[in-house]
């Protein structure tokens, strides 16, 4: 997120830019409720705003829609579970909020450049943290 994407908040000192507190709360709730399929609806309800207003506010403050943020949170959590547990890929997918493992595997591969199974097989130093494997 760049400074240009933020607006001054009332009470902020000259030149100081802050993220809207509702977006900070939304991020925390999305992380907490990541495995729920209705998490975006519940976050908007918790913040007493419509989903469209949440999307607008979230994008304005972070540069991405909340749905994309939620997907990134889920995929990072999944990567941690794959690295740190012996759960099956299907169990990991369900635990982080995916209904089916094929959709999860596709999203995981797009994000990291390797499948979840490859993460378990390849040595840790052969997979870049931002995705993809090293030659």
Range of the domain at 90: 71-126
3-state secondary structure of 127: strand
Q: What is the pLDDT of residues 94-128, one digit of tens each?
A: 999 999 999 999 999 999 999 999 998 876 655 55
Residues 109 and 80 in one domain: yes
Domain presence at residue 131: no
Same domain? 77 vs 110: yes
Check residue 11 and give its pLDDT: 46
Identify the DSSP state of 133: B
**Residue range 35-58: average pLDDT?**
92
In a domain, 96, yes or no: yes
**CA separation for the pair 105, 100 (Å, rounded):** 9
Residues 32, 56 within the same domain: yes
- Per-residue confidence band for 68, with pLDDT thresholds at 50, 70 and 90: very high
Q: Are residues 57 and 89 in the same domain?
A: no
0.85 cut: is pTM over it?
A: no
| Last residue of one domain, picked from the residues 64, 91, 111 | 64
- Flag whether 135 is in a domain: no
User: Smallest Cα–Cα separation from 67: which of 40, 101, 42, 96?
Assistant: 40
């Amino acid at each position: 997120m760049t400074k240009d994407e933020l607006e001054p908040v009332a009470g902020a000192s000259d030149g100081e830019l802050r993220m809207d507190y509702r977006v900070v709360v939304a991020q925390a709730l999305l992380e907490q409720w990541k495995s729920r399929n209705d998490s975006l609806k519940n976050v908007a309800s918790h913040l007493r705003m419509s989903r469209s207003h949440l999307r607008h506010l979230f994008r304005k403050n972070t540069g991405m829609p909340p749905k994309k943020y939620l997907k990134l949170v889920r995929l990072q959590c999944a990567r941690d579970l794959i690295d740190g547990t012996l759960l099956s890929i299907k169990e990991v997918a369900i635990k982080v909020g995916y209904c089916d493992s094929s959709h999860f595997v596709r999203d995981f591969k797009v994000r990291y450049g390797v499948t979840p199974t490859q993460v378990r097989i390849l040595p840790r130093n052969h997979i870049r943290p931002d995705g993809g494997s090293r030659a």
